[in-house]
Amino acid sequence: MERTKEQDAAEAAALGSALLDAALVVPHAVTAGRMTADMFYTKRNQVIFAAILEMFAAGKPIDILTLADWLGKRGELEQIGGQAYLLGLLEASPTAEHGAYYLGLVRDDWMRRRIIELSRGLHSRAVTGEEPGRIALEGAESFSGIIGEIQEREKNAGEIIHDLIDGWRRVKSGEKLSGIDTPFPTLNKILGGGLRTGLYLVAGRPSQGKSVLEENIALHAAKNGHFVGRVAIDMPVSVVWARTLSREGGVSLPRLNSGHAGESQLARLSDEAGPMVCQYPMRVKGGLFDIAAITSWARAMKVKHGLALLTIDYLQNIQISAPGAGYWQEVQKMTYISGTLKRLALELDIPILAVSQLTRDNERDDRPPRLSDLRGSGSLEQDATVAIFVYKDEKVAKKMGDEQKKKRPTNVDVMKQQNGETGIIQCWLHAHYFIFEECGPEGFGFDE
Class of domain 179-438: alpha beta
Task: Name residues whose C-beta falls within 8 Å of residue 182's C-beta, 6 or more positions apart in sequence.
Answer: 188, 191, 194, 195, 216, 217, 220, 221
Is 154's pLDDT higher than 70?
no
Q: So what's the pLDDT on residue 311?
A: 97
Question: How much is the pLDDT for 438?
Answer: 93
What's residue 324's pLDDT? 78
**Whether domain 5-149 has CATH 3.40.630.70:** no
Q: What is the pLDDT of residue 179?
A: 87
Q: Using pLDDT thresholds of 50, 70 and 90, give the confidence band for residue 151.
A: low
Provide φ and ψ at 189, rounded to 5°. Answer: -65, -45
Cβ atoms 137, 296 nearer than 8 A = yes
The rounded distance, in Å, linking the Cα atoms of 352 and 302 is 13
Give the pLDDT confidence score for residue 141 in this predicted structure: 67
3-state secondary structure of 62: coil
Is residue 153 pLDDT above 60, yes or no? no
Average predicted confidence (pLDDT) for the chain: 86
* CA R_g for the chain: 28
For 13-41, what is the mean pLDDT?
Answer: 84
pLDDT tens by residue, 77-104: 999 999 999 999 998 988 888 988 899 8
Using a 10 angstrom Cβ sphere, with 0-12 exposed, 13-18 middle and 19 or more buried, the burial of residue 430 is: middle
β-bridge mates for residue 351, sequence order: 198
197 within 8 A of 308, measured Cβ to Cβ: no
Question: What digits encode the pLDDT tens for the residues 206-255?
Answer: 889 999 999 999 999 999 999 999 999 989 999 999 999 999 999 989 88
- Say if CB 214 and CB 204 are below 8 A apart: no
Q: Is the pLDDT of residue 144 over 70?
A: no
Domain ranges of the chain: 5-149, 179-438
Give every CB contact of residue 345 below 8 A, 6+ residues apart in sequence: 197, 198, 199, 310, 351, 352, 385
What pLDDT, on a 0 to 100 scale, did the predictor assign at position 148? 58
Distance separating alpha carbons of residues 18 and 14, to the nearest angstrom: 6
pLDDT at 428 over 70: yes
105-138, pLDDT tens digit by residue? 998 899 888 888 888 888 888 888 777 877 777 7
